[in-house]
């Protein structure tokens, strides 16, 4: 039995609108999901890096060593898969003394500050036992149900991550997204924490739940599907009743618009349907209005996604600002010990790759800081620190200066400052001589300092630390010479 033109038209129109709706919804959902995944992964990495930057490596090394002492003598080792069991409680109970360590409290407080600033629920520190594919908690800032110190995470992708860390321990684990029955949608990452010599102490981990954004995505997708189905039903019902009116040209126009809708691969708002000038009281008009409504809803969806992206960008900028603050000395404004450690790693890399063949390190130590603090107060001691810092920065104007201790400064010598080091040393000592003998100044302003330097020698220096030690020794000799002159 042959079908009527009404039936054929209604069937054709129904199929066309249905397919178009599915394509738009699927593509929009896929694009939005990819954008959100990338933003969440980037945010997670930024948070983990920020946490790694603020952790004191010396305190963490002490904390790690104490945890591993207990871990190494534990038999058997009980993983988090047995959480809540008597065996698990007995195992983690061994680590109770760790909670009394000041290094533990300081590390945990640093993690919680980062966690509170970034409004996330879970930042923690792992130690990776690569031989056993175990990841041992050193601290967990989760406010609801933190994993106890010494807790061992042993999960199905742990061996894969172990192999990655064996090859490149300094890179950590790149952000990845998982979905489990226990935690739902979760984006996680692990970033290394380095000690002074550039070795990896442990890893900061950050977990961000994506359940809420996934629920919003699914909700919007369902709304789009429902609106599409309602639009299709309306269009089909009207078209069956009015089939004799002219519809060929408007339908072709709609078809061409739909065909070219995503051809440019633009992930932005579109106005292809809203720009159509189709005026009709029949099914074509309904279809046109439905497409415009659907396009408007999709544009609203992209607006929501853009707002989310801007919010995440703001968080990332805040994280970058925190990272900058973490590398600056709050008193003098110059770079601090954390920045110095990073610069040392860079020097090691440049030397190993042959891009740097000559550099030096100068060490400056402010004299009598304790005497100034005890006699005149710490505020006057700060004046002395700031003054000696300015002198160092003025003399070594082409080199980065770091405050690496209360009264210690380090200068990385390169290029012109390295070539003219002897001249700069004389200038420095002359300025110090004038300042220390200027009776018009207050006692705490008459600063005195010892200085020493060392130049990299590939024949004797295996690491930057070797150059640093030789510079420190020269500085100490200068301090002894000054003391001998005073005596």
Over residues 387-399, the pLDDT tens digits come to 999 999 999 999 9
Task: Please report which confidence band the pLDDT of residue 1 belongs to, taking 50, 70 and 90 as the band edges.
Answer: very low
- Mean predicted confidence (pLDDT) in 87-101: 94
Joined together, the tokens standing for residue 378 give: 């710490």
- Mean predicted confidence (pLDDT) in 231-259: 63
Three-class HEC string of 144-205: CCCCCCCCEECCCCHHHHHHHHHHCHHHCEEEEEEEECCCEEEEEEEEEEECCCCCEEEEEE
Is the pLDDT at 308 greater than 90? The verdict is: no
- Mean predicted confidence (pLDDT) in 241-263: 61
Tens of pLDDT, residues 422-441: 999 999 999 999 998 888 88
CA distance 418 to 412: 9
CA distance 338 to 323: 10
- Domain coordinates of the chain in residue numbers? 5-29+214-321, 55-209, 337-486
For the chain, what's the residue count? 487
Q: ∠ at Cα 198 (455, 390), nearest 5°?
A: 50
Tens of pLDDT, residues 143-155: 888 999 999 986 6
pLDDT of the residue at 244: 46
- Specify the CATH number of the domain 337-486: 3.30.70.270
Region of poorest pLDDT, from 24-38, 120-134, 310-324, 344-358? 310-324
pLDDT of the residue at 208: 87
Tens of pLDDT, residues 17-32: 777 777 777 787 788 7
Residue predicted with more confidence, 276 or 55: 55
pLDDT of the residue at 307: 67
Within 10 angstroms of residue 394's Cβ, the number of other Cβ atoms is 12
- The number of helix segments (H) and strand segments (E) in the chain equals 14, 10
Residue predicted with more confidence, 260 or 177: 177
CA distances 169 to 161, 198, 311, Å, are: 10, 11, 32
- The residues that bridge with 459 in the sheet, in sequence order, are none
Q: Per CATH, which fold does 55-209 belong to?
A: Beta-Lactamase (3.30.450)
319 Cβ partners below 8 Å, 6+ apart?
43, 46, 47, 49, 50, 118
CA distance 206 to 140: 10
Residue predicted with more confidence, 408 or 258: 408
The average confidence (pLDDT) of the chain is 83
Task: Please report which confidence band the pLDDT of residue 157 belongs to, taking 50, 70 and 90 as the band edges.
Answer: low
pLDDT of the residue at 266: 59
Tens of pLDDT, residues 443-464: 899 999 999 999 999 988 989 9
Place of tokens 């932005």: 268
Place of tokens 């090859």: 167
202 Cβ partners below 8 Å, 6+ apart?
60, 64, 125, 126, 127, 128, 138, 192, 193
Share of the chain above pLDDT 90, in %: 44
CA distance 150 to 202: 13
Task: Please report which confidence band the pLDDT of residue 234 belongs to, taking 50, 70 and 90 as the band edges.
Answer: confident
Tens of pLDDT, residues 262-298: 665 555 666 666 776 676 666 666 767 777 777 677 7
Tens of pLDDT, residues 115-128: 888 888 789 999 98
- Mean predicted confidence (pLDDT) in 289-308: 69
Nearest to 23 by CA among 236, 235, 263, 251: 263
pLDDT of the residue at 156: 64
Joined together, the tokens standing for residue 448 give: 């005195």
Is the pLDDT at 356 greater than 70? The verdict is: yes
pLDDT of the residue at 164: 87
- Mean predicted confidence (pLDDT) in 257-262: 64
Is the pLDDT at 242 greater than 60? The verdict is: no
């Amino acid at each position: 039995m042959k079908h009527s033109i009404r039936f054929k038209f209604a069937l054709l129109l129904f199929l066309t609108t249905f397919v178009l709706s599915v394509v738009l919804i699927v593509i929009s959902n896929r694009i939005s999901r990819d954008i959100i995944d990338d933003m969440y992964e980037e945010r997670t990495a930024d948070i983990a890096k920020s946490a790694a930057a603020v952790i004191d490596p010396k305190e963490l090394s002490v904390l790690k060593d104490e945890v591993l002492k207990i871990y190494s003598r534990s038999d058997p080792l009980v993983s988090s898969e047995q959480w809540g069991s008597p065996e698990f409680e007995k195992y983690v109970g061994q680590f109770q003394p760790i909670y009394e360590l000041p290094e533990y409290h300081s590390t945990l407080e640093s993690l919680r500050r980062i966690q509170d600033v970034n409004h996330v629920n879970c930042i923690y520190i792992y130690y990776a036992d690569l031989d056993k594919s175990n990841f041992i908690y050193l601290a967990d800032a989760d406010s609801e149900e933190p994993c106890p110190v010494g807790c061992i995470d042993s999960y199905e992708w742990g061996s894969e991550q172990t192999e990655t860390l064996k090859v490149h321990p300094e890179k950590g684990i790149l952000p990845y997204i998982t979905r489990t029955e226990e935690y739902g949608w979760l984006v996680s990452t692990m970033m290394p924490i380095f000690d002074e010599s550039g070795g990896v102490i442990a890893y900061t981990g950050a977990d961000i739940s994506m359940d809420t954004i996934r629920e919003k995505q699914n909700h919007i997708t369902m709304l789009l599907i429902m609106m599409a189905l309602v639009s299709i039903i309306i269009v089909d019902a009207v078209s069956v009743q009015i089939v004799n009116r002219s519809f060929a040209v408007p339908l072709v126009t709609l078809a061409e618009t739909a065909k070219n809708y995503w051809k440019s691969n633009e992930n932005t708002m579109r106005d292809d349907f809203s720009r159509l000038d189709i005026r009709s009281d029949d099914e074509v008009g309904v279809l046109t209005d439905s497409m415009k409504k659907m396009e408007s809803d999709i544009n609203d969806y992209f607006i929501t996604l853009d707002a989310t992206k801007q919010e995440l960008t703001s968080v990332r900028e805040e994280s970058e600002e925190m990272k900058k603050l973490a590398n600056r000395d709050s008193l003098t404004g110059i770079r601090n010990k954390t920045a110095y450690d990073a610069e040392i790693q860079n020097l090691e890399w440049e030397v190993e790759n042959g891009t740097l063949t000559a550099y030096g390190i100068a060490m400056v130590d402010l004299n009598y800081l304790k005497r100034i603090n005890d006699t005149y107060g710490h505020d006057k001691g700060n004046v002395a620190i700031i003054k000696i810092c300015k002198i160092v920065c003025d003399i070594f104007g082409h080199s980065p200066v770091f405050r690496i201790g209360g009264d210690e400064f380090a200068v990385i010598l390169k290029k012109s400052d390295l070539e003219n080091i002897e001249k700069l040393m004389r200038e420095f000592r002359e300025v110090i001589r004038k300042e220390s003998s200027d009776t018009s100044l207050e006692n705490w302003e008459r600063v005195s300092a010892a200085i020493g330097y060392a130049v990299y020698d590939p024949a004797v220096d295996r690491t930057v630390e070797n150059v640093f030690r030789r510079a420190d020794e020269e500085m100490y000799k200068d301090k002894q010479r000054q003391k001998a002159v005073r005596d």
